[in-house]
Amino acid sequence: MDWNRVEGNWKQLKGKVKEKWGRLTDDDLDVIAGHRDQLEGKIQERYGIARDQVRKDIDDWYGTQKW
């Protein structure tokens, strides 16, 4: 997976991330700034999901994006 695409297009993708993980605030998304490890941590914190499940959920979400 080429996460660099997400980092490079973060401003455009923030809305899609918020659609998927609505408990993330705009401030959270600004701090995350496309960094996968920070996104994983915030999702884990807000939803109480195990790290492995968060990684799978992000991979699944990434796979559905139309590039």
| Residues of the chain with confidence (pLDDT) below 50 | none
Mean pLDDT over all residues of the chain?
94
The whole domain housing 10 covers 4-64
AA letter at 16: K
Per the structure, the count of domains in the chain is: 1
Supply the pLDDT for residue 1: 62
Supply the pLDDT for residue 16: 94
CATH number reported for the structural domain that contains residue 32 in this entry = 1.10.1470.10
Supply the pLDDT for residue 25: 96
Residue 3: left if φ>0, alpha if ψ -120 to 50, beta else—which one? alpha
Residue 21 CB: number of other CB atoms within 10 A?
19
Q: What share of the chain is helix, strand, coil (3-state, %, to 5)?
A: 75, 0, 25
